[in-house]
Chain A
Amino acid sequence: MLAHAIFFYTFSFIAIISAIMLTVSKNTVHSVFFLILDFISVSCLFIMIGAEFLGMMMLIVYVGAVAVLFLFVVMMLNVTQQENQWFISTKSSTHLPVGLLISLVVFFELIVVIGGWKYKPDLVTSMSLSINQNITNAHSLGNVIYTDYIHIFQLSGMILLVAMIGAIVLTFRQRSGVKRQSYFKQISREKSEGVKLVDVESNKGVNLDD
């Protein structure tokens, strides 16, 4: 168990430190990099408790895609050198009540979860599904998601689809004067429509527009 403990404390230490650095670092891009470090260490923790599928999915979805888009946006919006003024100025302290409220809610949720876990240990076993230890992560997850919880799973998929279409509709704007390339048009051009032979009379020229 010694090695297990060493790894656990290393990863959780890195996760907590990077979460703190994420909020206090002055450079927004650095914040995103700390967020990525946090994701990676949390996925390592997932792998350590045997949820390797979840850990890998966390790496692929959050680190491989979501955080890249975060970085993309942060770099494109040119907020890289903007100072994080949370701890410096008094102006931005209007966020403070909201932040306190959220942290209070999270705190009470933690108390409920840990309290239930500590004083009524059979709560966890009665709430969680029975897990077959002999089959792999992905199999046991699939057994639950695609049978008992299929409607909730599909509903969440629909919500994501609606959100995606909504985001596209909100940012889509029709621009005029954009030249588009149509492969079919280009390929189906014939010599007869592309080239026109004109007999030009001398000293008269030719009108190209007709």
Chain B
Amino acid sequence: MFEYFNIILIESYKILFLLVPVLVSVAMIVWLDRRIWAFVQKRRGPNVVGPFGLFQSLADALKYIFKEIIIPASSNKIIFILAPIVTMTLALIAWAVIPFSETHVLANINVGILYLFAVSSLGVYGIIMGGWASNSKYPFLGAIRSAAQMVSYEVSIGIIIINVLLCVGSLNLNDIVLAQKKIWFIIPLFPMFVIFFISALAETNRPPFDLPEAEAELVAGYQTEYSGMMYAMFWLGEYANILLMCAMGSILFLGGWLPPAEIFPFNIIPGALWLIFKILLLFILFALVKAIVPRYRYDQLMKLGWKIFLPFSLIWVIITASYLFYFNLLPTL
């Protein structure tokens, strides 16, 4: 009996050490996002609270905590309250399998990449539940839009993952990273990286694909009826999901915790720092896209997903498989 408590204690300690940095970095990333957005538009952005405005997100969080939570009278109360919790939980549980170095991973499971994919595909439920339970037309329309959007872009992400798996021969995330020791997959699979990046934008409802919350048409989409801490949880979940997608991109294509080369100045920096650096790099790209590209029309979004990305990534699967087969490069068991 006692050893169970011991295991639970150690694991909760590990979980705490993973979750607290993730939550803090989510707060920092919101600040970074707003700053980059502002710099592209020649504004200053949040620069008042703390040095360079670093504590802006903490101040915002404090504000959200003290605001009143309004639950609409005609809403479905249980599901209404459950929706932000689901979003937040799903965004955080996925971090369990992200490897920060060969040994620093909470759960080194055999089907790591499938787990990541499953959790990111479950993310749509928070949005649908919130939109439906609000019992109001703008949230409902936003939820319907986002359900269609996320399901369509998941398909191309799945096929891109197949491309990477063909080169690795394992579903374990650490194996995927170690397979990139010779060459990062971004070089042989560059078109897939571009499509993954764009699909990740759509999957996380980021601009230019933020149609579920298009303020010109839908007020704030599925978040319209939410207030206070519940709104903040949606918001945190969204950014945690964005970070997760960046982590997924850097593990699949940018070599995860591997340094760019095994030479002196690079290999003394610990792997976790390399991963964080790569995540930040991808996130800055995310933020730049938000500032630069205008929002897509809905039919264009669907056309892009189904008629361009899906066939293209399918063709690329065939090309990758044939190449590996012809040159006898297929990974062995």
CB distance from B167 to the nearest CB of A (A): 15
Q: Which of A33, A76, A137 contacts B111 (CB 8 A)?
A: A137
The verdict on A23 contacting chain B, using a C-beta distance below 8 Å, is no
* B128 closest partner in A (C-beta): A71
The answer to whether A53 touches B114, judged by C-beta atoms less than 8 angstroms apart, is yes
Determine the distance from Cα of A68 to Cα of B147 in the docked complex, in whole angstroms.
Answer: 7
Q: C-beta contact mask, B43-57 vs A, less than 8 Å → 1, else 0?
A: 000000000000000
* A69 closest partner in B (C-beta): B151
* B155 closest partner in A (C-beta): A65
CB distance from A73 to the nearest CB of B (A): 11
Known: A2-B4, A59-B122, A75-B132. A64 touches B154 (CB 8 A): yes
The answer to whether B122 touches A76, judged by C-beta atoms less than 8 angstroms apart, is no
Known: A29-B132, A72-B148, A135-B333. A59 touches B118 (CB 8 A): yes
CB distance from B171 to the nearest CB of A (A): 6
Determine the distance from Cα of A135 to Cα of B333 in the docked complex, in whole angstroms.
Answer: 8
Give the number of chain A interface residues (Cβ < 8 Å): 26
The answer to whether A56 touches B118, judged by C-beta atoms less than 8 angstroms apart, is yes
Q: C-beta contact mask, B67-82 vs A, less than 8 Å → 1, else 0?
A: 0000000000001000
CB distance from A17 to the nearest CB of B (A): 16
Q: Which residues of A contact B151 (CB under 8 A)?
A: 64-65, 68-69
Q: Which residues of B contact A80 (CB under 8 A)?
A: 132
The verdict on A139 contacting chain B, using a C-beta distance below 8 Å, is yes
The listed residue with most B CB atoms (<10 A of its CB), out of A53, A75, A76, is A75
The listed residue with most B CB atoms (<10 A of its CB), out of A2, A57, A138, is A138
Q: C-beta contact mask, A110-141 vs B, less than 8 Å → 1, else 0?
A: 00000000000000000000000001111100
Known: A3-B4, A60-B117, A63-B122. A139 touches B109 (CB 8 A): no
The listed residue with most B CB atoms (<10 A of its CB), out of A56, A72, A136, A139, is A56
The verdict on B115 contacting chain A, using a C-beta distance below 8 Å, is yes
The answer to whether A57 touches B125, judged by C-beta atoms less than 8 angstroms apart, is no
Q: Which residues of B contact A136 (CB under 8 A)?
A: 110, 170-171
Q: C-beta contact mask, A71-96 vs B, less than 8 Å → 1, else 0?
A: 11001100010000000000000000
The answer to whether B128 touches A57, judged by C-beta atoms less than 8 angstroms apart, is no
Q: C-beta contact mask, B153-181 vs A, less than 8 Å → 1, else 0?
A: 01000100000000000110000000000
Summed over the interface, the residue pairs from A and B with CB atoms below 8 Å come to a total of 70
The verdict on B121 contacting chain A, using a C-beta distance below 8 Å, is yes
CB distance from A40 to the nearest CB of B (A): 9
* A2 closest partner in B (C-beta): B4
Q: Which residues of A contact B1 (CB under 8 A)?
A: 2
Q: Which of B4, B118, B333 contacts A64 (CB 8 A)?
A: B118
Known: A71-B128, A138-B171, A139-B333. A52 touches B117 (CB 8 A): no
CB distance from A54 to the nearest CB of B (A): 10
* A58 closest partner in B (C-beta): B118
CB distance from B83 to the nearest CB of A (A): 11
The verdict on B124 contacting chain A, using a C-beta distance below 8 Å, is yes
The verdict on B314 contacting chain A, using a C-beta distance below 8 Å, is no
CB distance from A61 to the nearest CB of B (A): 9
The verdict on A42 contacting chain B, using a C-beta distance below 8 Å, is no
Q: C-beta contact mask, A1-31 vs B, less than 8 Å → 1, else 0?
A: 0110000000000000000000000000100
The verdict on B140 contacting chain A, using a C-beta distance below 8 Å, is yes
User: Within B112-151, which residues are at the interface with A (CB < 8 Å)?
Assistant: 114-115, 117-118, 121-122, 124-125, 128-129, 132, 140, 143-144, 147-148, 150-151
Q: Which residues of B contact A45 (CB under 8 A)?
A: none
Known: A33-B79, A75-B144, A139-B333. A60 touches B114 (CB 8 A): yes
Q: Which residues of A contact B171 (CB under 8 A)?
A: 53, 136, 138
The verdict on A35 contacting chain B, using a C-beta distance below 8 Å, is no
Q: Which of B110, B118, B125, B144 contacts A36 (CB 8 A)?
A: B125
Q: What 5 A-B pairs have minimum CB-CB distances, sorted nearest first? A: A64-B121, A56-B114, A59-B118, A136-B110, A60-B118
Chain B interface residues toward A at CB < 8 A = 1, 4, 79, 109-111, 114-115, 117-118, 121-122, 124-125, 128-129, 132, 140, 143-144, 147-148, 150-151, 154, 158, 170-171, 333
What 9 additional pairs, Cβ within 8 angstroms, besides A60-B158, A68-B125, A71-B147? A2-B4, A36-B125, A53-B171, A71-B128, A72-B147, A75-B132, A75-B143, A80-B132, A136-B171
11 contacts between A and B (CB under 8 A): A33-B79, A59-B118, A60-B117, A63-B118, A64-B121, A64-B154, A68-B150, A72-B147, A75-B144, A135-B333, A137-B111
